[in-house]
Every structure is written in structure tokens, then in C-alpha cells.
Chains A and B, each alone.
Chain A
Amino acid sequence: MYFLQRTLPLLVAFVAGVIGIFTYYVPVAQPVEITTSTWYRIIAAFALFLGIHSLLQMHWRRIRRNQAGWAFSAVVYIGFIVTIALAVYNNGKGPLQPLAPGDGLDLNWMYTHVHVAGGATMFSLLAFFIASAAYRTFRARSAEAVVLLVAALLVMLGRVPIGALISEHLPEVSQWLMATPNLAARRGILLGVSLGAIATALRIIFGIERSYLGEEGQ
């Protein structure tokens, strides 16, 4: 039991990690990488069933218990059933044929008029959220907030036509802020991230990091 619960996962992590490193540096080993990514896709396809099961079970429980917002869960079920029905019907061609284009209510219509429209609505909410987050941040309560506020104002003004009307130097200042201090900070973060990823990979490969097994580390 200990072998299955502890030793085997550690062994799998070690072998998978070493294969990953090996295929990165050794060109002749690239077919191994292709094979493992094929395995991943196959596992992902089966995991999708688990995901659908989890989603439907969670919403079914909410409907059954009349929890707050249960009507939204009913919408999930209706959307799921209608989408599956349209995919199976496939404009009369059946589920085993390629997606058949149609003029009316079909899978394409659902995607364009429900899914894409819903996503665009969510994305557009960002404008309001940015405004409220910016208001909180730019109240200039500290020196850092003042620096952030001034930098943000310069960048924003430098990127709209009115900025050049106020001063011909504003676009240059905006460009300099983005290309020099901002890029330097970004590269600093990326270097740290790369080192962090190497350290995490080593900890997992050598079995030092065992949080994913519920252990504190060995």
C-alpha cells in the first residue's frame, strides 16, 4: 500500500521529470516527447468525462437542495442539454458527420450568439472593474501609490492623441516608461520565475517536495 501511495507517485514524478529534461536538450529523444504529449491528450479526453460529471453533479445538488441561485444551475442543465441535442442533430446529418452549416438554430448559432456573446459581455465588464480598482489604487495614500498614479497618468496620456497636443514629449516619456523601467521590472520577474520553476522542478524530481502527496516534505 505504501508503495502505491508514496513510492510509485515519487517514481513516476522522477521518471517524467527526467524525460522532460532529457527531451529538451537531446533532439533524437523528441519522439518520446511527442508520445508523452499524445498520452496527455488521451488522458485529457477521459478526464473531460470526470469534469462533466463533476459539473453536472454540483449543479444537480444545488437544484435538489433549492440552494441560493439554483435557477442558474437549471440554466446550466438547459444549456447543456440543448447544446448536446443540437450537436447530435447536426442539421439533420447526425452526430457522426462533420459539423454541417445551417441557417437557423444550430450548434454554430449557439456558439456565436450565446457563448461568444456571453464571453464578450464578461470581458466588457473589465472596463468597469478597472475603473473601480484604479479609483481605489490612485487615491495616493502612500508614496508608492503616488509613483503609480503619476506613471499611469503619463503612460495613458502619452498613448492618446490629446497627450501629444499637451506636450510633444509625452509620447516619448510614455514610451520610455514602458521600454525601460517597466521592461526591466518585467525581465527581473521573469528571471525570478525561471529560477523558481527550476527549483520547484528539482524539488519534485528528487522527491523533496511532497506537498502534492499531502506530506510536509522529506
Chain B
Amino acid sequence: MAHLLLLLVLVIAAAPAGAAETAPAAVQAFDTPNDQGHSITLTWRRREVLPDSARYRIGVSERAEGPFHHVAELDPKTTPTMADEPATFGSDDDNRNRHFALIESYRDSEGQDRIRIENGKAYFIRIGIHGGGYTVVEARARGNYFNSTKTGNFALAGLFSVLILVYIRLARRKNLYIRRLAGLDALDEALGRATEMGKPVLFVHGLQDMGSPSTIAAVNILGQVAKRTAEYDTQLRVGNRDPIVMSVSQEVVKESCIEAGRPDAFNPDNVFLAAADQFSYAAALEGLMVREKPATNLLMGYFYAESLLLAETGATTGAIQIAATDAYTQLPFFITTCDYTLMGEELYAASAYLSRDPKLLGSLKGQDLGKGIIILMLVLGSILAGFGFWPLLS
């Protein structure tokens, strides 16, 4: 509501006599909420009956008396209403009866270049119907310091963050029980098998880049895997699609080898760019699986259609396969073709679980409690909805 209090809505001029009833009614202009500034939102009442040729014309001036520079000409039939943007304007029933337009720039006097709306400067905005009256209002744009549409998100993220940090602290003092993850318990067995067979372990990141949380989680797991393979003196092959992920993976494997006391185990050629395109990447890794027959395939990260191509090829070569993904559309393929599959959040838990570090395990406990709260809210919501308490829910 703060931004509404700052609105300076002022009707400067009315339409000429005889045309007033044709001018847009209940016009308001205010700083566009939840943005970085340089934008003014104009709203006005929707007219039920207008001729097909009618157009709203919007102009902007730095002075009340003009001249007004062209901003836009809008067709009333296609101009959005405030109900189309519930995140910004809420869910008031009246929103269906009000149009809105965002004003971010206007044409200069020659009508050539567009001039950007400046923050803190007073602008006079004129809206009229072509051939009818017009209304002028004043407003200023400004940058917002908090996106109020993300308040719920902020509150929940804050609550879960506090829970996780509390449990990390708690974990320093006492042992916390963490449920077993079969796929990760089998990791040592899978790596041991590769060692006994004298065959490599293949690690695949999936398709996303380093900005994706699933790739970050996969790289964390890679660190743990690389340390174990270095200790077991087993070759680790890491096939990448993204050059940045490849560079990061090379560093992670190198650091893990050094930590394991086996810097000589690191070979940069084993962490390679397979291909930068989805199916070329799949083909390159399938070829590697068929030719080198790795004893263990670890498919960890975010996958798309290549998931089944990789996993099914790996299955035909007889490798132990452990997959971990948060791509729910690909989970069925991994479950059907891999020996163990870590679903969704388990991908993010894997690194902490493998490290056995109490503080990392504490964060998993906090995560579980967060899930418990969500489940409780869902059950409560279902009960309230079941008994018809819709006003309370909404």
C-alpha cells in the first residue's frame, strides 16, 4: 500500500464541453509497483460500448499545459484489464472493469527517438479517445526497494532458511538420524566394482549450465565421487556439454585428487567436452559407453530427452547405473533403466549424505522439517477447502 500513498494523482484538465462524457473515466496514474523505476502505470475505467474505430490515445508531457508527446494508441478490444495482472493489481472484482497501460518511454518532438521516463520527475499523462475528450493526470516514477508480490516467497524462504541453519547448529551438538538413501549407499559398491574390474567410472552432468541448482548439486557430488575414485585409483571420466561446467568440473576433480593425497590421479583429458548440442552430446557419450564399457555410470543433474538414450545404452553395456535428477519428466525413464534413482530433493541431499559431515546432515534434517510444515499446510488447506472455508483460504 505504501506506493499507493505516494501516488500523486491529479486531474488537471477536463475535456471540452460536450465531449466530457466521451473522455476515459476514473483515470489514475501511479508509479508501477515492484519494479526498478522508469515506468508509470495508467489505469482507467473500461467502456462497455465504443465504436469499432475508437482508440485510446496516450500522451506524455513534462508540463501540465503540454505539448504532449505520443506514447501509444490502443485498441479498446485488445487493451488488457487489471484482472489480467493479479500479481500486480490483486484480485479485486472491479479489476475486470479497469484497463491499464505501462508507460516507459515516449516519442520526442520530432517523433523519431523514444525518451525514457526518468525516476522522480513529474510527468503529466493525457489519455483520450480519438475524436472525443481527454483527461490529464500527474505521476512520478521511482525505483522500489522490495517486490511485494514476492512477500509470501520471502517469508517461506526465510522460515526454511532459519530452520536449516538451526538444525546445522543443532547437529554440532548431537547426532541426528537421517533416513538411508539406497542409491548413495550403493555408490561405494559401484565404485568398488569399477576398481575390481579395472574399468572407468563415467560421470554425466546433464544439460544445464553452471547457473542451474541441479548442476551445482551434481558438481558437489562429483567432488565426493572424484575423491573416492582417486583413493581407489580408478579412472573417472566426466562428459560435459557446457564449457563452463567442464572448467569447473576439472577444478573440482583436481582439488579432490589433491585432497585425497593423489594429485597424480588427475588427468584433465578425462574431464572433457563431449559436445555442445543435446543429441550430439548423447551420441558422444553413448559411443563412449559402448566402446569403453564403464563399470559404473553416474547420471546426475538435469536431463531432457537424452536421459533414456543414455540410461538404456548404459543398461545394455551392463554397467551399474545410479541416476539423480530433479527433472520429474525424466524420472520414469531413469527408474526403469537404472539400478538406483535419486528423485528430486535427493539430488541436493546427496553431497551432504556422502560427506557424513554432521553439519551438512543437519541441513538435511532442516529440509525434512520444512517438508513437514508444507505437508501440514497442505492437509490443513485440504480440510478447510473440504468444509467450504474458501474466504479464509483466499
Interface residues of B in 221-237 (CB under 8 A from A): 221-224, 226-227
The interface residues of chain B lying within 8 Å CB-to-CB of A40 are 211
Where chain B touches its partner, the secondary structure class is helix
Task: Determine the residue in chain A with the shortest Cβ distance to B161.
Answer: A202
How many positions in chain B have a CB within 8 Å of any CB in the partner chain? 93
- With A25-B150, A137-B336, A212-B223: A195-B244 Cβ-Cβ less than 8 Å: no
- With A132-B312, A214-B256: A198-B160 Cβ-Cβ less than 8 Å: yes
- With A25-B154, A27-B34: A69-B344 Cβ-Cβ less than 8 Å: no
The interface residues of chain A lying within 8 Å CB-to-CB of B309 are 122, 125-126, 129
> What per-residue 1/0 map shows which CB atoms of A12-53 lie under 8 Å from chain B?
000000000000111111110000000010011001111110
Interface residues on A, range: 35 or more
A193 and B348 contact, CB distance less than 8 A: yes
Say how far A181's CB is from chain B's closest CB, in angstroms.
13
CB of A150 within 8 A of chain B?
Answer: no
Q: Which of B243, B275, B367 contacts A50 (CB under 8 A)? A: B243
- With A27-B34, A30-B36, A118-B279: A196-B217 Cβ-Cβ less than 8 Å: yes
Q: Which of B220, B247, B269, B335 contacts A58 (CB under 8 A)? A: B269
Kindly specify which of A89-97, A98-106, A168-176, A184-192 makes contact with the partner chain: A184-192
CB of A54 within 8 A of chain B?
Answer: yes
The interface residues of chain B lying within 8 Å CB-to-CB of A204 are 216
Complex Cα distance A28/B145, Å? 6
- Return the 3 tightest CB-CB contacts between A and B, nearest first: A196-B348, A214-B255, A51-B243
A-B contact pairs, 17 of them (CB 8 A): A28-B144, A51-B240, A54-B271, A54-B273, A55-B272, A55-B274, A115-B277, A119-B277, A119-B279, A126-B305, A129-B308, A136-B336, A190-B328, A195-B160, A196-B326, A196-B346, A215-B255
Chain B residues in the interface with A (C-beta under 8 A):
34-37, 143-147, 150, 154, 157, 160-161, 164-165, 168, 209, 211, 213, 216-217, 219-224, 226-227, 240, 242-244, 246-248, 252, 254-259, 268-269, 271-280, 282-283, 287, 291, 305, 308-309, 311-312, 326, 328, 331, 333, 335-337, 343-349, 351-352, 355-357, 359-360, 363-364, 366-367, 370-371, 374
